[in-house]
Structure 1
Amino acid sequence: MTAMPTIVFIHGLWLHATSWDPWQEFFTAAGYDTVAPEWPGTPDTVAEARANPDSIADHGIDAVTEHYLSFLDGLGEPPILIGHSFGGMIAQKILGLGRAAAVVAVDAAQIKGVLPLPLSALHATLPVFKNPANIRRAVSLTAEQFRYGFGNAISEEESAGLYDRWTIPAPGRPLFEAAAANFSLHSPAAVDTGNTSRGPLLLIAGGKDHTVPEVITEATAKQYRHSPAVTELVAFPDRGHSLTIDNGWREVAQTSLDWLHAQGL
């Protein structure tokens, strides 16, 4: 019997790696080994991360990608990557390098070449962009800002609960790098979308996502049109950016599991 690949979960901005705990339990029950490593500099708990924002600050896309690549070196076989938001972008970068067996990218941050920039995405990231000095800082969201960027498709009560449980400060640098991607020849937000030998990719979009609107995910899928490798898109019309952690997370996880089984993984 062939061993099942390890699943590595990669979170995005403003969420701690422990936000993947329910997903790890779900995929462990399905027979996978799972791990959810933190971003570089991020403490092991939400409380520690909130108390030490300077340790989180100033890590850009390349630094985070290299951090995960170094972690993957210790796994042996290429793993499955499941990433959310900027974690989805980083997972795609690793897939483009041929270092992943497959990727599920949920509400992934825009990669270089993606042009749509909806007003809701600008509003959701305003807490970072309102001060250019935030490129070197870690920035926290208020409960109200989290409600707009993550929890707009769920109740105010649930959004507040998720904010209290999982949110941490996030480095501003990745957002500045992504915003400048299409004006930079060697942007860290670039992905090798033309790789013909990469593993399969599933892009998942939330139809009510303010931070990464569905149009961004659709434009991301088009970037892969020159590769014959499997690229598929699934949309959840009534879901926002919190779809990996809110009350409907299990439906997204089940869709991901079914897709991996369909790919022979």
Structure 2
Amino acid sequence: MFTFKPATQKKYKHPLVLIHGALFNGEAWRGNFLDYFATLGYDTYAIHLSGHGQNESKLFLNLYGLDQYTEDVIQLITSLDEKPILIGHSMGGLVTQLVGQKVKLQAAVLLAAVPPFGIFRAMSGFFLTDPFSWGKFAASALFPFGKYIETTPPEGIYTTLPSLEVRQHVNKNMQRESIRALLEMMWRDFEIDASKISFPMVHIGFRDDKIIFPEDVEKTAQFYGKEAKIFEKRAHAFMFEPNWKEVGEYVQEWLQENALH
């Protein structure tokens, strides 16, 4: 399933496909990238990965892994008339890399993406530096208590607390994540081959992120022979922070210079 936002006035032939991270769904992009890029002239899709979204059954959620999520995206983009631009956040950034191993893309934007070497190091570092916040994050992956209880977000999720309206939107759309997918991100060797990535790719991280450390974003960029862009005074869930648009503007400038020819 996906949410589609047609271009207000179509300027670019290549559509955007937005891929959400863990514990959420395609509604992560509503009110920010979904609307922003449609206004700029892109047909924009926000996919709901298997088992994610208000109308998706959670019965088989724990059976879904990264391969299923990758096939979800491939099924959508192979139905499109033009090669898409993928924008993936966190787990969605890893899915973007896996899709790029199988399908030719116009470009890819990785936002605080899970590295090709997984998140064991990041989760270990998170636990050692802030075990209480780590516990909150881990508990949310199994049961989204934030939907029912007003609580302070874990450290590293936000630098600037979103508005009440945005926090209510976040709480409404939080959900548990596939245990299989979480374990795969911790332990699985995805055997990603950087040489298969022949399309433009940009790597973006956030200085205050405690889920995907900016150093890991930089290591991912180096793996692909690129440099990373690290935004200051932002954290993992940047799209809900008041200054999200500056990241969107950077992405648009990069696309115009590297992918829209």
| Equivalent position to 1:10, from 15, 19, 36 | 19
From the superposition, tell whether residues 53 and 240 of structure 1 become closer, same or farther in structure 2 (CA, over 3 Å).
same
Is 2:69 the counterpart of 1:69?
no
> In 2, distance between residues paired with 1:256 and 1:68?
20
From the superposition, tell whether residues 235 and 127 of structure 1 become closer, same or farther in structure 2 (CA, over 3 Å).
same
Secondary structure in structure 2 of the residue aligned to 1:216: helix
Secondary structure in structure 1 of the residue aligned to 2:115: coil
**Contact kept? 1:84, 1:108, Cα under 8 Å:** yes
> In 1, distance between residues paired with 2:104 and 2:169?
32
Shift of residue 93, structure 1, vs aligned partner: 1.6
Is 2:41 the counterpart of 1:31?
yes
Shift of residue 150, structure 1, vs aligned partner: 5.4
**Contact kept? 2:207, 2:235, Cα under 8 Å:** yes
Deviations 1:171-211 (A, max 9, x none): 12222112113xxxxx3x3322122x621111110111011
> In 1, distance between residues paired with 2:118 and 2:104?
22
Shift of residue 89, structure 1, vs aligned partner: 0.8
Trace 1:1-265 onto structure 2 (pairs within 5 A). 3-21=12-30, 22-43=32-53, 45=54, 48=55, 53-112=58-117, 116-117=121-122, 119-120=125-126, 123=131, 126=135, 139-143=142-146, 147-148=153-154, 151-155=157-161, 160-161=167-168, 163-181=170-188, 187=189, 189-195=190-196, 198-225=198-225, 231-265=226-260
**Contact kept? 2:11, 2:41, Cα under 8 Å:** no
> In 2, distance between residues paired with 1:219 and 1:33?
32
Q: What TM-score do the two structures reach when normalised by structure 2?
A: 0.80
**Contact kept? 2:118, 2:186, Cα under 8 Å:** no
Shift of residue 56, structure 1, vs aligned partner: 3.1
Residue identity opposite 1:139 in structure 2 = L
Residue identity opposite 1:247 in structure 2 = P
From the superposition, tell whether residues 128 and 24 of structure 1 become closer, same or farther in structure 2 (CA, over 3 Å).
closer
Secondary structure in structure 2 of the residue aligned to 1:67: helix
From the superposition, tell whether residues 154 and 178 of structure 1 become closer, same or farther in structure 2 (CA, over 3 Å).
same
**Contact kept? 1:152, 1:240, Cα under 8 Å:** yes
Q: Which is worse superposed, 26-35 or 116-125?
A: 116-125
Residue identity opposite 1:207 in structure 2 = R
**Contact kept? 2:90, 2:111, Cα under 8 Å:** yes
From the superposition, tell whether residues 113 and 163 of structure 1 become closer, same or farther in structure 2 (CA, over 3 Å).
closer
Shift of residue 149, structure 1, vs aligned partner: 5.5
Deviations 1:121-178 (A, max 9, x none): 6756656878xxxxxxx72344488711653412387585454243222212222112
Shift of residue 61, structure 1, vs aligned partner: 0.6
From the superposition, tell whether residues 115 and 167 of structure 1 become closer, same or farther in structure 2 (CA, over 3 Å).
closer
Partner of 1:184: none
Gaps in structure 2 of 5+ consecutive residues: 1-9
Residue identity opposite 1:93 in structure 2 = L
From the superposition, tell whether residues 157 and 18 of structure 1 become closer, same or farther in structure 2 (CA, over 3 Å).
closer
Deviations 1:81-116 (A, max 9, x none): 001001011112222334211111100012127884
**Contact kept? 2:136, 2:154, Cα under 8 Å:** no
Q: What TM-score do the two structures reach when normalised by structure 1?
A: 0.79
| Structure 1 stretches of at least 4 aligned residues deviating more than 6 Å after TM superposition | 127-130
Residue identity opposite 2:48 in structure 1 = E
Residue identity opposite 2:63 in structure 1 = D
